[in-house]
Amino acid sequence: MRAFSYERASSVEAAAKAVASNPDAKFIAGGTNLLDLMKLEIETPTHLVDVNGLELDQIQATPDGGLRIGALVRNTDLAAHAKVRSDYGLLSRALLAGASGQLRNKATTAGNLLQRTRCPYFYDPNQPCNKRQPGSGCSAIGGFTRQHGIVGVSDACIATHPSDMAIAMRALDAVVETVKSDGGRRSILIADFYRRPGDTPHIETILEHGEFITAVALPSPLGGKHVYRKVRDRASYAFALISVGAVIQPDGRGRFAVGGVAPKPWRIEAAEAELPKGARAATEILLADAHPTEQNRFKIDLVKRTLGAVVEEARG
Ligand code: SF4
């Protein structure tokens, strides 16, 4: 691990300013992904700004009937919160499908959104990787691609986003609230939060350097039945081959987002209109632009079948 300096932020604004003033600085909270990346020298910040003392660990009702989740709420606490369990069951289930108990105790809401891909080539400094070292090439293309993306990818990167929580947030239309170093605030629809890789896969979100996530807001509850189903190579502590998070109403209408197929939580609202006709029709629209490899073509059928199972489970 490379040497770095460290400070504890005294306020949200001070944290944003401290990171913005140094191009090699980063925020640190739970550190469940960043510290691993630093040990491998994949991330090499020269300065860390610790935000753990900023008292952003509250979950509060909003005036419009929704919930505001502080950026530092730990994944375990969010999954166990009574209101999340009763009204946003999809979010609770997605969180509990991710990582391990120990990791969920440390991992934060904002950090979960910002975790990096688990593409194995990204974690191997001996392999070219455009996301780790822009312009070096993509080892996955032409390599081992069973875990990789099939839609929304580019010729520069076919990695997937690993978060389970983000799939639920996307289906629930969450809004990411931020503060910039100049004090300006933004509310960003999660649909707009992640970028597609294009030619710059190392830039993963629309956040500016130093822009600090303070909270994630959820709109008022949708009702319906909430299901999160994750398909993976082993029963726990593994990332998704694919996952489906859905809210299904009694009449068969609903909304859903899919993980493990794209560089961002994948939701196509037009596909949801097809849901009453069946999972096949909905998946055809959801994955209409898919460009799978020979090794991950199976994900198309897997999404179809998993979505069908999710709808069946929801309708009892
Ligand atoms: Fe790197 Fe993306 Fe290619 Fe993986 S898929 S090797 S993260 S550029």
Cβ(42) – ligand 1 distance below 6 Å: no
**What's the CA gap between 316 and 314, in Å, rounded?**
5
Which numbered atom of ligand 1 lies nearest the CA of 119?
Answer: 4
Model pTM? 0.97
Q: What does each of the 316 residues of the chain score in pLDDT, given as a tens digit?
A: 899 999 999 999 999 999 999 999 999 999 999 999 999 999 999 999 999 999 999 999 999 999 999 999 999 999 999 999 999 999 999 999 999 999 999 999 999 999 999 999 999 999 999 999 999 999 999 999 999 999 999 999 999 999 999 999 999 999 999 999 999 999 999 999 999 999 999 999 999 999 999 999 999 999 999 999 999 999 888 899 999 999 999 999 999 999 999 999 999 999 999 999 999 999 999 999 999 999 999 999 999 999 999 999 998 8
- Cα–Cα distance measured from residue 217 to residue 58, given in angstroms and rounded to the nearest whole number: 12
CA of 131 from ligand 1 middle (Å) equals 6
* Residue 153 CB–ligand 1 contact under 6 Å: no
Bridge partner residues of 177 (DSSP): 187, 215
**Is the CA virtual torsion 311, 282, 151, 75 positive or negative?**
negative
Angle at alpha carbon of residue 55, lines to 176 and 90, rounded to 5°: 45
Is 121 near ligand 1, meaning CB less than 6 Å away?
yes
Q: Which atom of ligand 1 is nearest to the CA of 128?
A: 6
Give yes or no for residue 119 CB within 6 A of ligand 1: yes
Question: Which residues are registered as beta bridge partners of 229?
Answer: 244
* Phi, psi angles (nearest 5°) of residue 258: -125, 140
Q: Please, what is the end-to-end C-alpha distance for the chain in angstroms?
A: 51
Nearest atom in ligand 1 to the alpha carbon of residue 132 is 1
Distance in angstroms (rounded) separating the CA atoms of residues 101 and 111: 16
Distance from Cα 225 to the centre of ligand 1, integer Å = 36
CA-wise closest residue to 169 among 80, 220, 94, 116: 94
Q: Which of 129, 239, 264 to mutate to test the pocket of ligand 1 (most atoms within 8 A of CB)?
A: 129
Q: Which atom of ligand 1 approaches the CA of 143 most closely?
A: 6
Residue 17 in 3-state DSSP?
Answer: helix
Residue 212 token pair: 């600090």
Q: Which residues contact 3 (CB under 8 A, 6 or more apart)?
A: none
Token representation of residue 234: 């082993």
Please indicate whether residue 157, judged by its CB atom, sits closer than 6 Å to ligand 1. yes
**The pairing of beta strand 254-259 with beta strand 212-218:** unpaired
Give which of 45, 39, 103 is closest to 75, Cα–Cα.
Answer: 103
